[in-house]
Amino acid sequence: MRLSLEEKYQFSNQMAMILKAGLSVQQGIEMMQQDLENQNLKIALEAILGYMKEDAHLSLAIERTGMFDDYMVHLLKVGEVSGHIDDVMESLGEYYLRMDDMTSQLQQALTYPIILFIMMFVVVGVVVFQVLPIFENVLMSLGSHLSSFASRFMNFGQIFSMLGFMILGIFMIMIISFYVYAKKSHQDIMVMFVQKSWITKKIANHMNHAQLTYALSLFVSSGYDLQEAVHYTIELVDNSQLQNQLKQCYHDLEQGVSFVDAVSQHQIYKGMKLNMIQIGFQTGQVDAVMKTLSNHYQDEVSQSIAHFLNIIEPAIVTFLSVIVGVVLLSVMLPLVSIMSSL
């Protein structure tokens, strides 16, 4: 079992405040356990405290629980060596809060379209399997002759509505498959959808770069050199393409290639962002530049989500309107034809 981003933020933030107040790690964990309602976090704290009583350092205790990510473990090891665990915890809190904010934005952005899509699936299903058969029986019971045009349009409406229902059914199967896979792999379904779907490729790209860039800034500010930082961030990124780029970049760094040349060659950063990194190296402010870039990427995530919503919501409504409109016409035209023949 892994803790959520919100739970890791809560742990990191509270631990940072406790350590800055001058209390020890063990005292801080015991204090956090008091009146704690979150069961997952409570289990994690009990496990950490148990391992620490066996003379394990905080980083080792956290690693043994299996409930935290490697990112926290690596940074805490640096904090223990440098004696600045409180600063590391504060930085981790900022990181998890940032990642949780992006995840929340995705959930808010995708929840409404998914609900609208499910409603559309139900409405079209009712029209295809309930409304159309009733109207067809009514028309047949009237016993009047339909014009060839009305008859053809009615058949077209039935075929069109059935085709629309089948398309919606395929998308429903995809949504259910995403949900089942996300549950089995213990991932957030919204994040996994964004990472895997071609529709949200741009959002995923900005998210991955925001996460990567902020992680690099924290590693560098914590004392890691960029080669080590790149090595540890490879596993943090969910996108396979970006992972491969980072692996190639790490290989180049091992060969003595500069960081700027490596990320430029493998197109991890381009254009203005690459220029900012170059300036950061020239001025000795790499970690600060990386944090600035991460903020920029996070703004791009928000803009991409807003753009996605502006496109997907009208598209879903338009698709539903077309299907319902064709079905209504396929019913009304035969009725008009019958009434005109009376």
Contact by Cβ (8 Å): 48, 29: yes
CA 175 vs CA 110, 111, 114, 171, 239: distances in Å? 12, 12, 9, 6, 20
In CATH terms, is domain 94-341 a member of 2.60.120.620?
A: no
Residues 324 and 161: their CA atoms lie apart, in Å, by 8
pLDDT tens per residue across span 274-312: 999 899 888 888 888 888 888 888 888 888 888 887 887
pLDDT tens per residue across span 192-205: 666 677 777 788 88
pLDDT tens per residue across span 216-269: 887 787 777 888 888 888 877 777 888 899 999 999 999 999 999 999 999 999
Residues 78 and 92: their CA atoms lie apart, in Å, by 13
pTM of the complete model beyond 0.75: no
Domain ranges of the chain: 5-68, 94-341
- Summarize the chain as % helix, strand, coil (round to 5): 85, 0, 15
